[in-house]
Amino acid sequence: MTLGLAAFSAVLHVYIFFMESILWGTPAVNKKFGVTADNAEVTRLFAFNQGFYNLFLAIAIVAGLVMVHSLGRPQGQLLVDYAMLSIFGAGIVLVSSNSNLIIPAMAQALPPVIYGIFRFIEMNRSTT
């Protein structure tokens, strides 16, 4: 369950990467992010950079998942945990910087919250 949530978060962040770094400034993406064409042009560099941040989080999750599944490495689980915690933190920063962004912040932060709950349960089961 937890690794499935992590994989979902990786896919979501690759999608966000495409919107921010590749499709930024298109009418559909402008509407989704609530920016005008002029604002999109002014913020293009920042969106491009932010998109790569999201891509790197997705890569960290995928690398961790590969390590867990193919090598059985606990370091892979740690990498996934760290990436998911980072995504949760970014969701908190998003909503605290602009409360109007509650929906995108929830879409970003909710999978890591559920992931964290299940990871806590998994960790407690393995110690008993």
> What would the mean pLDDT of 89-99 be, rounded to a whole number?
93
**pLDDT, the chain, mean:** 93
- Average pLDDT of 88-111? 92
Instruction: Judge residue 120's burial from the number of C-beta atoms within 10 Å of its C-beta, 0-12 exposed, 13-18 middle, 19 or more buried.
Output: exposed
Evaluate if residue 127 carries a pLDDT over 70: no
Looking at residue 128, its pLDDT comes to 61
The confidence score (pLDDT) of residue 1 equals 80
Q: 72's torsion region: left (phi>0), alpha (psi -120 to 50) or beta?
A: left
Q: At what angle do helices 2-17 and 74-97 cross, to 10 degrees?
A: 50
Alpha-carbon gap, residue 53 to 72, rounded angstroms: 27
> Do 7 and 59 form a contact (C-beta atoms < 8 A)?
no
Q: How high is the pLDDT of residue 36?
A: 96
Which tens digit of pLDDT belongs to each residue from 48-92? Answer: 999 999 999 999 999 999 999 998 878 999 999 999 999 999 999
Q: Residues 89-111, buried b or exposed e (16+ Cβ, 10 A)?
A: ebbeebbeeeeebeebbeebbeb
Q: Name the more confident of 30 and 71.
A: 30
Separation between Cα atoms, residue 61 and residue 68, nearest integer Å: 10
CA distances, 1 to each of 4, 114, 119 (Å): 5, 10, 9
Boundaries of every domain in the chain: 2-127
